[in-house]
Structure formats: C-alpha cells, structure tokens
Structure 1
Amino acid sequence: MGVSPRIAAIVLAAGQGRRFGGFGNKLLADLDGRPVLRRAVEAALGARTCRTIVVIGHDRAAVEAALDGLPVVFAHNPDFASGLAASLRAGLAVVGEADVVVVLLGDMPGVRAETVNALIDAFAVAPGASAIVPLRNGRRGNPVLLARALFPRVETLRGDEGARRLLAADDSVLECAVDDDGVLADVDAPADLDKFRAPIRRS
C-alpha cells in the first residue's frame, strides 16, 4: 500500500478586485451572512487537506478579520499589485513538505468541499498526473490540484497569470468531471453575488 500524499490547500485572497468598482473589497462582501472569502476558505477546510494557507495582500487586516476563528495559515504577498502569479509563488513558498496543493480562488464562494475531495480522489488513482482540473459542462474550472512536480514551473510565472497556460500545454493534466456549477462561477461585480444567494422560500 502506497503512502498517502500530503495535501495542502492554498486560497488566493490578495488581489484588489478592481472590477468590483467602488463597492469595497469583493472578498469581504456579505453573502447570506458570511463574507465571500470565508465561504471559499470553509470549502478548503472541509476537504481532506492537511493545512489551509490563505494568501493575503490588499486589505490585509480586514481579510484576516473576516477569517477570524478559522484554523488557517496566512501568507503575505507584498507584491499583490503585480497580479496572480506573485500570490501563487507566495503560497507555494509556505506549503512545506506537501506533495500536492489544491489552489482555490477566494472569489469563488460556490465551490464545495466535496469538489475538492473529488480532485484529491482523482489524483489518488492517477498519481503520475501533474495536475487535476475540474470539468463542468465541457469547461475547465477552478480549483485545480497541482502536484509537486509542477511547482518549479508555476514559480516561473509572472504578472497576472495563473497556471492555465501551463496546464493547457501539459499532456499529463487530467480532467475530473464534477457536479458543481461553483467551479465556473466567480464574483467580479456586485450583481454576481445573486448567483450564489440562497433562494427565498415562499409559503
């Protein structure tokens, strides 16, 4: 029997969210009584991961306060204004001996812990994969699972670039079909919050 991989979660929450306009930090926006970011972090904590790292930068103190009481490790990205790549590097810098990371986006509050576990299960049966990406209605989404073999390439990214380009060019990336619309839905504008709100029950 093989040794189970050590799996960490990284939640990216350092960005400025400029497209949210003058309505404040989208990660702190209320969504049925909880901040958008807190919902994303709770999905990571509810999955089978050994630790959850939250990368912070913009609005650092307020973001930390929004996650008060949750057992997370904060990684500060002082270069958050340069884009997504710097946050990925900041997260990877503190994963320690983790063999695998699942990277979640803080502005995707609809992702479920079960979906994170589905990626982990897919990697368990295909440990040679460099990454596992969720597939919903024929489209790739987030979060993504990255194996340690891919870390050095991710660390070469710069600017506002995530790992999408690397994954598109890698034949060892596997897709995992999931029953979760949350992997395709993020919060960019205030109106986007309505996609995630619980329906009002009428008598």
Structure 2
Amino acid sequence: MKATRSPAFSAVMLAAGTSTRMQGRHKLLLPMAGETVIRRSVRALLDAGPEEIVVVTGFNGLAVIHALDGLPLRFQFNPYYDQGQMTSVAVGVAALNAPCDVVMVCLADQVLLKPADYRELIDAYAAMPHGSILVPSFNGQRGNPVAFAASYATEVINGHVNPGCRKLVAEHPDEVFVHPATHERFTIDMDTPADYADILARLNTGSKRVTAGESL
C-alpha cells in the first residue's frame, strides 16, 4: 500500500487545439461566467496547489497567452499542434522544471472542474493500491485529467507511454489504477456549441445534466 502523504504534483495544461468542432469559434476564448474558458480552467488548477503549470499553446497561441495574463504560469509552444494531442503532451512534459512526484495532464476545456477535484486525484494517487498511472472514471466512462509518476516523464516525452491513449488501461493493467469518481465532472469537456450551451446552462441554473464531450 502506498503512503498516504500528499505527493507534490506539476501540471501540463493542453491549450493548443484548433477547436474544429466549435463552428469557427476558438472555444478556449469563449466567455464563461465573467472570464474566458481557458482562464477559468487554469485558475481552478492553480488553486489546487501544483508545483508549476506549463500551458501548451499552438493554434491562436498569442491570444491564449493574453487571456492568461498575470497568472503564475509558464508557456510552451507546440509547433506540431496540428499533428495530434500527444505531441502537446510530450512538449508540455518536456518543459516541466520543478521537482515533483506526479505529473497531471489537464484539458483546458474542462471548465467544470474545481480545485477540490484536482486535489481528489492527487489524494487518490497517493492512496491507490497499485500502479503508477491514475485515470478517473465515472459510471464506466473514462475521464481526465490523467496523473502519472514523474519517473514516466522520459517515456512520455519519447512517445513510449501515451497517458491519453484510450487503450491505456487494457494495455497496462498492472500500471494503471482506475479511480471511481462520485461525480461526472471528470468526464465532461467542451467540443461543440451544444456542449458550450449545456455548460453555460449548468453554471447558470445548477442543472445536473450536461453533455459529455470526448476524453483525452
């Protein structure tokens, strides 16, 4: 059984995508409860107390950086952002500097996640009975963020371990622990105008029903 002390964690926030399903709008710059989507997501992650956050930019990168002005972050541009999300994961993990025990790979459009949700994953990682990779799940649906031991960093950078792979649990059963969450926030992201409208409605009304987007 792993020790239950809280591990030090660093985070990579993926913010390089082209928002192709948002019908011409850059989803990370859409307004959300008085700020942009990207700023809301990053603020929640900051409040969870990571050692550092690297925000990976790509498409419309300067606008993303401007939207995060004043926050204690580092930015890393991914020149290969149009070649898939795993390139952004590798670039972001390679840019981490601060010593840590755990690396968390986060999606910038998971705007419903709260600081306590990120802490939940770190506490679950500390207490998990086996493995070095943690994947949240709700009602059998895989979610995000994914957390993995910092010792995996080199393998992730080189593409030998893909923490975003949908087959990760099946291919690495001894290394992956599935964390059963009691809420759906880990499984919700925002890809389409309908997703955006549903999340806005939830924030405005407290409705429990939100359309879930695709996982990492």
Report the TM range for the smaller structure's normalisation: 0.7 to 0.9
The CA distance in 2 between the partners of 1:153 and 1:167, in whole Å, is 17
1:20-59, aligned counterparts within 5 Å? 20-22=22-24, 24-59=25-60
**Are the counterparts in 2 of residues 84 and 161 from structure 1 also a CA contact under 8 Å?**
no
CA separation of 1:72 and 1:121: change in aligned 2, threshold 3 A: same
Aligned to 1:199: 204
Matched residue SS, 2:66: helix
CA separation of 1:194 and 1:67: change in aligned 2, threshold 3 A: same
Q: CA RMSD in A?
A: 2.5
Q: 1:131 aligns with which of 104, 112, 133?
A: 133
CA separation of 1:17 and 1:157: change in aligned 2, threshold 3 A: farther
**Are the counterparts in 2 of residues 133 and 141 from structure 1 also a CA contact under 8 Å?**
yes
Q: CA offsets, 1:114-149, max 9 Å, x none?
A: 111111111212385221111212222011111123
Verify: 1:175 aligned to 2:178, yes or no. Answer: yes
The CA distance in 2 between the partners of 1:135 and 1:99, in whole Å, is 22
1:39-188, aligned counterparts within 5 Å? 39-96=40-97, 97-126=99-128, 129-157=131-159, 162-171=164-173, 172-188=175-191
Q: How far 1:30 moved relative to its partner?
A: 0.9
Amino acid at match of 2:189: D
**Are the counterparts in 1 of residues 146 and 164 from structure 2 also a CA contact under 8 Å?**
no
- When normalised by structure 2's length, the TM-score is 0.82
Q: How far 1:99 moved relative to its partner?
A: 2.6
Amino acid at match of 2:156: V
Q: How far 1:74 moved relative to its partner?
A: 0.7
The CA distance in 2 between the partners of 1:106 and 1:3, in whole Å, is 28
The CA distance in 2 between the partners of 1:46 and 1:148, in whole Å, is 21
Identity %: 36
- When normalised by structure 1's length, the TM-score is 0.87
The CA distance in 2 between the partners of 1:127 and 1:9, in whole Å, is 23
Amino acid at match of 1:186: D
The CA distance in 1 between the partners of 2:71 and 2:155, in whole Å, is 31
CA separation of 1:173 and 1:41: change in aligned 2, threshold 3 A: same
The CA distance in 2 between the partners of 1:110 and 1:45, in whole Å, is 14
**Are the counterparts in 1 of residues 94 and 157 from structure 2 also a CA contact under 8 Å?**
no
Aligned to 1:14: 16
CA separation of 1:200 and 1:85: change in aligned 2, threshold 3 A: closer
Q: CA offsets, 1:155-200, max 9 Å, x none?
A: 3449x99333334311221122223322111111122112222225
